[in-house]
């Protein structure tokens, strides 16, 4: 068993909670959870990380789990927390990976920590809203109505968003306590995502994450949503380290248009799409080694392409 709870103090005085899985002496990978989520967002069969020779580090992004809130943060602010975590653990160079709401934060690290990030993976990541990025209609096209509703709450501001997410968190906890695979029952998910959520390992993680992510309130979730509807605080055009952009073509949580935009605008990126997978990917016990081979060794997944990095 890894270390499921360690803490550090960031340079600005906040507590940052993190966990270590796998081989503590292995190649360091900092994995950034989605929206919402917490440090328990990982594949629960820890031996896979040890066998791959990686030190897999997760943390509660600001406001989630046991990490203090960073009120008013922008996406770019995550890079400083990642640097503080790497400093704490003595990592000079490392890989960064994350999906969904974690994707933009991965790109922040790739843009703002070029001397430390070896390679990065942004899976089913959200694209910027507005210039430079997708306009609102394109950003929302193909998105499940439940996510669109949350987006509208964020646009209305923190005073509207907070009580709505508090109520949503309560509903989700009640549902997950009975059946973790029902976590997203309000959404019209593709068959692939339903199958992934029904895996026993996935249900274990859903249960663990759901009851930890808002242990001290929904502030992290609120701040993520607010950060996604305003400028990120950096330009993806400044990314100067190798990035793998991954997304599924049946995703209704972060529709493929987001991945298309990132693929066209992250300089020099490698792109891998899956025609049948949605938001959850497929078979983590195959995808995790594939991701490690990219982050550590620079070996891109079979079928990846290298599109020109020109604005879409």
pTM of the predicted model, to two decimals? 0.97
Residue 2's pLDDT is: 76
Query: 1: pLDDT confidence band, cut at 50, 70 and 90?
Result: low
CB atoms within 10 A of CB 34: 25
Read off the pLDDT of residues 82-91 as tens digits, 9 standing for 90 and up.
Answer: 999 999 999 9
Share of the chain above pLDDT 90, in %: 97
Read off the pLDDT of residues 147-187 as tens digits, 9 standing for 90 and up.
Answer: 999 999 999 999 999 999 999 999 999 999 999 999 999 99
Asked if pLDDT for residue 244 goes beyond 60, the answer is: yes
Residue 307's pLDDT is: 76
Instruction: Show me where the domains of the chain are located.
Output: 3-297
Residue 312's pLDDT is: 40
Residue 10 vs residues 58, 66, 163: alpha-carbon distances, Å: 16, 13, 28
Taking domain 3-297, whether its CATH number is 3.40.50.1820 is answered by: yes
d(CA 94, CA 2): 19
């Amino acid at each position: 068993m890894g270390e499921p709870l360690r803490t550090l103090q960031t340079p600005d005085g906040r507590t940052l909670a993190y966990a270590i899985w796998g081989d503590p002496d292995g190649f360091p990978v900092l994995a950034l959870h989605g929206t919402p989520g917490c440090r328990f967002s990982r594949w629960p069969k820890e031996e896979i990380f040890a066998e791959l020779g990686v030190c897999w580090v997760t943390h509660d992004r600001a406001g989630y789990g046991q990490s203090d809130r960073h009120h008013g943060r922008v996406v770019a602010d995550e890079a400083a927390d990642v640097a503080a975590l790497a400093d704490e653990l003595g990592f000079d160079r490392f890989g960064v990976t994350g999906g969904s709401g974690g994707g933009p934060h991965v790109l922040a690290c790739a843009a703002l920590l070029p001397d430390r990030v070896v390679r990065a993976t942004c899976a089913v990541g959200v694209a910027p809203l507005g210039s430079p990025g997708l306009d609102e209609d394109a950003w929302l096209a193909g998105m499940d109505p439940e996510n669109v509703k949350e987006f509208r709450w964020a646009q209305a501001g923190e005073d509207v968003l907070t009580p709505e997410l508090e109520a949503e968190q309560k509903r989700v906890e009640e549902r997950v306590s009975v059946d973790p695979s029902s976590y997203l029952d309000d959404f019209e998910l593709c068959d692939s995502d339903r199958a992934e959520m029904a895996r026993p390992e996935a249900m274990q993680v859903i249960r663990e994450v759901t009851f930890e992510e808002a242990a001290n309130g929904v502030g992290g979730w609120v701040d993520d949503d607010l950060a996604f509807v305003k400028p990120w605080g950096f330009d993806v055009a400044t990314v100067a380290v190798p990035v793998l952009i991954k997304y599924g073509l049946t995703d209704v949580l972060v529709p493929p248009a987001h991945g298309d935009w990132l693929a066209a605008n992250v300089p020099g990126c490698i792109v891998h799409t899956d025609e049948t997978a949605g938001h959850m990917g497929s078979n983590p016990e195959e995808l995790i080694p594939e991701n490690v081979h990219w982050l550590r060794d620079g070996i891109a997944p079979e079928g990846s392409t290298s599109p020109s990095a020109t604005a879409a």
